[in-house]
C-alpha cells in the first residue's frame, strides 16, 4: 500500500498573513459598526427634535403664542407652588454632589416644556409620538424639592435642550481670569422682563441661574460643574424657541457636533 502523503503544515509566514487579514477584517467591522451606531444615535436625536418642533407648532397654533418662560409645579410634600424658569441654564443656587461633574446642575428645560405642552391637547398628541427610546423620567432636586419630569432624551442618553427667547444668548459669558467664575443672574422680572407675567407673589427656584457659553476653566483642569460651559449660547430665530442636543461629546459649547433642526444665531 502506498504511504499516504503527509499534509503540509502552514508556514509561519502564511499564519502571519492569515492573522493579518483577520485583524484587518475585525478593524473594518469595528469601524463600520461604530459608524452605524453613531449614525443611529444621530438619526434618533434628529427624529426626537423634529417631534418636539412639531409639538411646538401645534402649541402655537392652538394657543396663539409660544409657551410662557416660566412654569408652576406643586411640591407634593408641602402642597406649595414652585415657579421655575424654563431656561437652558445652570442652577447656581443648589449644589448636587452626585452629578458628574459634581456641582450645580443644568435645569431640565425640555422636561419643563413637555409639562407645558401636556396642557395643550394638540401639542400633547405630538409629544405622544416620541420614540419610546427617547423618553425617560428624570428627577432633579431644586431648592430642596424633588422634581420628576417626563424628559426627551437624545441618542447619547442625555436630555434634549430647550431654548426660550426669554433666556436666549449668553447673558453670563466667560469669566475674567481674576474672578475665576462666570457671574450668575438673579431670577426676577428686572433681569428677565418676560417673567413679569408670572404671579406677583411668585418665588422662583432656583433663585440664581447662569447661561455661560464658554468653560471658565480649560480642560483637563475642570473639576466641577462651575468649570464647564452651560449652553450653546444661541439666540432664537424669529422669537421661536428651539431644541438641540449637545451631540456625541455632551458639551453644549462645542457647537460643531450639536444637533439642530432649527439652527440658532450665535
Encode pLDDT of 198-241 as tens digits: 988 788 899 999 999 988 888 888 888 878 899 999 999 999 99
The distance from CA 229 to its chain's CA centroid, rounded to whole angstroms, is 12
| Residue where the block lists cell 449614525 | 39
C-alpha cell at 193: 422682563
Closest to 83 in 3D by CA, of 136, 141, 124, 142: 142
pLDDT of residue 194: 94
Whether the upstream peptide bond of residue 75 has omega within 30° of 0, thus cis, is no
Query: pLDDT digits over 20-53, tens only?
Result: 888 888 777 776 665 555 679 999 999 999 999 9
Cα 27 to Cα 15, 17, 39, 144, 152, distances in angstroms? 18, 15, 18, 50, 34
Model confidence at 172, pLDDT cuts 50, 70, 90, reads confident
Stated pTM of the model:
0.83
Inform me whether the pLDDT recorded for 18 exceeds 90. no
* pLDDT reported for residue 15: 77
Q: Average pLDDT, stretch 101-108?
A: 87
Reading the block at residue 247, the C-alpha cell is 451631540
Phi, psi of 94 (to 5 degrees): -120, 155
Lowest mean per-residue pLDDT among 33-42, 103-112, 139-148: 33-42
Cα(156)–Cα(38) distance, rounded to whole angstroms?
A: 9
d(CA 239, CA 187): 20
Higher-pLDDT residue of 242 and 143 is: 242
Amino acid at each position: 500500500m502506498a504511504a499516504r502523503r503527509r499534509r503540509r503544515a502552514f508556514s509561519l509566514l502564511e499564519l502571519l498573513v492569515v492573522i493579518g487579514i483577520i485583524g484587518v477584517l475585525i478593524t473594518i467591522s469595528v469601524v463600520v459598526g461604530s459608524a452605524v451606531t453613531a449614525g443611529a444615535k444621530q438619526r434618533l436625536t434628529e427624529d426626537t427634535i423634529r417631534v418636539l418642533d412639531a409639538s411646538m407648532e401645534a402649541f402655537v397654533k392652538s394657543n396663539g403664542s409660544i409657551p410662557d418662560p416660566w412654569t408652576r409645579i406643586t411640591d407634593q410634600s408641602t402642597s406649595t407652588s414652585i415657579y421655575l424658569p424654563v431656561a437652558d441654564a445652570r442652577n447656581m443656587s443648589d449644589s448636587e454632589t452626585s452629578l458628574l461633574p459634581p456641582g450645580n446642575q443644568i435645569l431640565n428645560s425640555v422636561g419643563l416644556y413637555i409639562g407645558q405642552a401636556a396642557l395643550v391637547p394638540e401639542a400633547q398628541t405630538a409629544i405622544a409620538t416620541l420614540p419610546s427610546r427617547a423618553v425617560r423620567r428624570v428627577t432633579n432636586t431644586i431648592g430642596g424639592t424633588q422634581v420628576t419630569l417626563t424628559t426627551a432624551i437624545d441618542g447619547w442618553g442625555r436630555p434634549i435642550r430647550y431654548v426660550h427667547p426669554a433666556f436666549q444668548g449668553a447673558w453670563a459669558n466667560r469669566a475674567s481670569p481674576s474672578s475665576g467664575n462666570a457671574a450668575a443672574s438673579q431670577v426676577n422680572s428686572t433681569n428677565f422682563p418676560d417673567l413679569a407675567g408670572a404671579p406677583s407673589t411668585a418665588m422662583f427656584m432656583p433663585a440664581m441661574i447662569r447661561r455661560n457659553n464658554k468653560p471658565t476653566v480649560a480642560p483637563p483642569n475642570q473639576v466641577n460643574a462651575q468649570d464647564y460651559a452651560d449652553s450653546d449660547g444661541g439666540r432664537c430665530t424669529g422669537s421661536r424657541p428651539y431644541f438641540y442636543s449637545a451631540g456625541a461629546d455632551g458639551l453644549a459649547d462645542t457647537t460643531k457636533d450639536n444637533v439642530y433642526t432649527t439652527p440658532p444665531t450665535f
